[in-house]
Structure 1
Amino acid sequence: MAAPPTERAERDASDLVRALGAAATLFALGGVAAAILLDPTFSWTADALSDLGVRPRSAPAFNWGLMLGGAAGVGYAVGVWATSARRGVGVAGRAALLALAMVAMAGVGRFDLTEPLHAPAAIGFYALLTATFAVDGALRRGTTTGALALAFVPVHVAVWATFLAGWWPVTGLALPELPGAIALAAWVWFVGPLPVAGRGSARLDGDRTDEH
């Protein structure tokens, strides 16, 4: 039996939003990976990821990957809000924080290390991403995926706190930057309110219906 038109439309909308989430992470992480492969001088211990954005061989892949990923990510943020069964302040706040994080991520690509707006964009991305995890985890704290999202917060804070305290045996920012990028991908694909891998997320939550 075919699904009712309304149900089918809602499913199609959710699929579109998931596609935007997948595109956001694949553009961003794919661009970073491609840039690393294109730059044989890149060092995980001495460089920041953003160094890839100023070197001629790697800059196009790195910068365009982040800009395209950020654009898709804004669409994903809006879509998560639009397809949510709840439209309270918390849900809107989560969408706004995620959208701003994606704008900041695009800003990292748009404004390279030589630009004065680069540092605010980079700091804003990681701070806004952490805030997104915190709000999302609080909203869905009764689910396994919500608890995982909330757990990302102290882990991400600890990464930067220990690096800034000088506990890491590296001089570059690339390694402490990596956990945030991985956490974003994990949240979009598995842990967030409308994950790309929807069925896997449902299994984590015991097949509970989450109104995200």
Structure 2
Amino acid sequence: MTDTVERASVGAGLVAPVLSFVGVLLATVVSPSFAWTGNALSDLGGPTGPVATDLTRLLFNGGLISGGVVALGFGYAMFLAARNLVELAGIGLFGLTSLSMALIGVFPLPQDAHFFVAVSFYVLLSLALWVYGAGNFLAGDRTRGGVTVGLGVLNTGAWAVWISTGEFSRPGLALPEVVGAAALAGWTVATALWVRRRLGHAS
């Protein structure tokens, strides 16, 4: 039973990014008028209009909710593979990141809570990567730690460039948004594969 639960938890780490990130990308494809330089990703989950349809809302909001909830299930395997308290702290922040991602879908535009949970997601994402990456360094895993911290810097850097080059709410908000989303998706898959090997479930 324990082995099955561990494998299921690792599987959650592989499935969650597919549900969330691929769901978002598919929503951009099926939207009648979504433009990377003209819209925010959240427009896909908002009220019916030129960008959002019933299908885009299902893919975007549903993908974020299901992906966030499934990602929480990956926390168990991450916990078993943790090597120090700093990695454990990073895992806790990853859980909060996953929860905030799900809440973006629960509170789509134009609900008041949407802005708060969306900002929380991107802030928590960088914090989770930095803390977990620091734990990797402490465990002697310099390469993994460097990449993890670097992805957190990439997410923050994308927002720093966006904020420093114009008005925050200008068209094209999807561009910095997708940087962080892609970083999280890629890191989660890579980490799930690493955790699977560490727990001896690679076969």
Q: TM-score, normalised on structure 2?
A: 0.83
Higher RCO (Cα < 8 Å, 6 or more apart): 2
5+ residue gaps, structure 2, are 47-51
Name whichever of 139-148 and 100-109 sits farther off.
139-148
- Number of residue pairs the alignment of both structures matches: 188
Q: Which residue, out of 33, 37, 54, partners 1:41?
A: 33
Note the aligned Cα RMSD (angstroms). Answer: 2.4
User: What residue number does 2:96 align with?
Assistant: 100
**Corresponding position: 1:60 with 2:58:** yes
Q: Which residue, out of 106, 109, 113, partners 2:105?
A: 109
Quote the offset at 1:198 in angstroms.
6.0
In 2, distance between residues paired with 1:85 and 1:122? 28
Q: Deviations over 1:141-191 (max 9, x none)?
A: 1321121101112222211111001169x732101111111111121122x
Q: Which has the larger radius of gyration?
A: 1
**Pairing of 1:176-191 with structure 2 (within 5 A):** 176-190=176-190
CA contact (8 A) 2:87 2:133 kept: no
Matched-pair identity in %: 31
Quote the offset at 1:13 in angstroms.
4.2
User: What residue number does 1:20 align with?
Assistant: 12
Q: Which residue, out of 123, 126, 134, partners 2:122?
A: 126
- 1:159 is matched by which residue type in structure 2? A
User: What residue number does 1:89 align with?
Assistant: 85
Quote the offset at 1:9 in angstroms.
4.6
Any runs of at least 4 consecutive aligned residues in structure 1 with deviations exceeding 4 A, and if so which?
A: none
In 1, distance between residues paired with 2:6 and 2:187? 16
Question: Residue 112 of structure 1 aligns to a residue in which SS?
Answer: coil
Q: TM-score, normalised on structure 1?
A: 0.80
CA contact (8 A) 2:130 2:148 kept: yes
More helix by share: 2
